[in-house]
Amino acid sequence: MRIPLTKRVVATAQPRQRPYELRDAQVRGLLLRVQPSGHKAWIVTWAHGKRRTLGEATLLTLEQARAYASQAMAEVIQQGLPSIAKPERPRCTLAAFLNDHYEPWAKVELRGGQHYVERIEIHFAGLLNRQLSDIDEAVIDRWWRARITGDRAVSKATATRDLACLRSSLSKAVEWKLLDQNPLLGLRQKSVESRKIIRFLSPDEEKRLRSALIERDQRLAAARASGNRWRASRNVQMMPEIPAGSFGDHLTPVVLLAMNTGLRRGELLSLTWADVDLDARMLTVRAENAKSGRQRHIPLNTEAHTVLAQWATRTLVTTGRVFNVASVKKAWAGVLTSARIGSFRFHDLRHHFASKLARAGVDLNTIRELLGHADIAITLRYAHLCPGTLAAAVAKLAA
């Protein structure tokens, strides 16, 4: 039976030979359980056999017990289960989560997964000993200010990429039931100034870049010949000759292929000779090396075919990786300086490839397939470069 509980009723409830309960008439689900020992406790029940103890009556007042019970019953209506009935999440630090859970998964499931883990460990080092549940928006706001204004400040774009790695990892923590919810999902997206202009080479810049590559190859060939003369005079084993007119090293073929295929830098450097079919004039970007995770085939135009054929002759190797290097950053920066080209990234060679296709009247869906874009909305950034095609489409109305 339900009775209107009061402070006096709670205080004067006497123990009996068996435990008994007094149900509150004001808040449904709240009851006071009195033991033969005289111990009194507040309990909330929401279904037959479903109950949880809120606390001792000596520690929780009637008003507090009613407030907790009301909240629990509201959660039952909204979620089907009150939070006090949910199993407690295991305590786990960010470091333990990365080592024991996220890293083993990322190495298998994500291309470059180890890189993401290392990025979190390096740039969120101050949070590694924190419990996952203690990482919230306030903590991240402090991290953000330190990251972009501290002694080793970085750009907002770099900090945003760091934050994206952490946010993604915490989403997996939620999926694995180590967190109730991702505390960073509702975080306001940090403002980052985007590159509003698609950067590509002007005809004069392309001419200067090609000349700088040729001059660099000639310098490398001359240096190799001079070094071999020195070795010959001292009976030291000589290095392989660089034939006149050939590539000095990997940089020129990498750049020319980027200009003629639109491949990303990572896709180029991960190419193997098994991915290149010179007879069919086709190269394949394997799914595990593509940003989209999908395999695609790129036809080789005359220059790209000639470059690869000449590079095969230059290296005398047609197995393994086409370009056995980890980076072209330093050499690329040097050739840009020689060519007097500023504000141009290696990735902009991909924009250069797409922009030339657009200006030549190639439809945007074909450009999308060649670039490997998952969504044509990304390819639409090149739409303004093909005004002739758009004008021709509109002109058909008059016809």
State the pairing for strand pair 40-47/30-34.
antiparallel
Are residues 74 and 39 part of one domain? yes
Domain of residue 143: give its range.
94-175
- pTM of the prediction? 0.60
Give the pLDDT confidence of 179-196 residue by residue, as tens digits.
888 888 766 555 444 455
Q: Is residue 194 one of the residues assigned to a domain?
A: no
Domain end position, chosen among 62, 85, 108: 85
So what's the pLDDT on residue 394? 63
Q: Is residue 181 one of the residues assigned to a domain?
A: no
Residues β-bridged to residue 2? 23
So what's the pLDDT on residue 153? 84
Give the pLDDT confidence of 132-177 residue by residue, as tens digits.
888 888 888 889 989 888 788 888 888 888 998 999 999 999 999 8
Provide the residue type at 178 as one letter.
L
d(CA 332, CA 178): 44
Q: What angle do CA 52, 55, 56 make, to 5 degrees?
A: 130
Give the pLDDT confidence of 252-261 residue by residue, as tens digits.
999 999 999 9
Are residues 352 and 220 part of one domain? yes
Total domain count, the chain: 3
So what's the pLDDT on residue 395? 64
Q: Cβ(13)–Cβ(40) under 8 Å?
A: yes
- Neighbouring CB atoms inside 10 A of 362's CB total 16
User: Phi/psi of residue 241, each to 5°?
Assistant: -70, 150
Q: Is residue 191 one of the residues assigned to a domain?
A: no
Are residues 126 and 40 part of one domain? no
149 Cβ neighbours under 8 A, 6+ residues apart:
none
So what's the pLDDT on residue 385? 75
Are residues 113 and 226 part of one domain? no
Domain end position, chosen among 40, 64, 85: 85
Give the pLDDT confidence of 331-367 residue by residue, as tens digits.
999 999 999 999 999 999 999 999 999 888 888 888 8
Are residues 171 and 294 part of one domain? no
d(CA 238, CA 229): 8
Q: Which regions in the chain score pLDDT beneath 50? A: 191-194
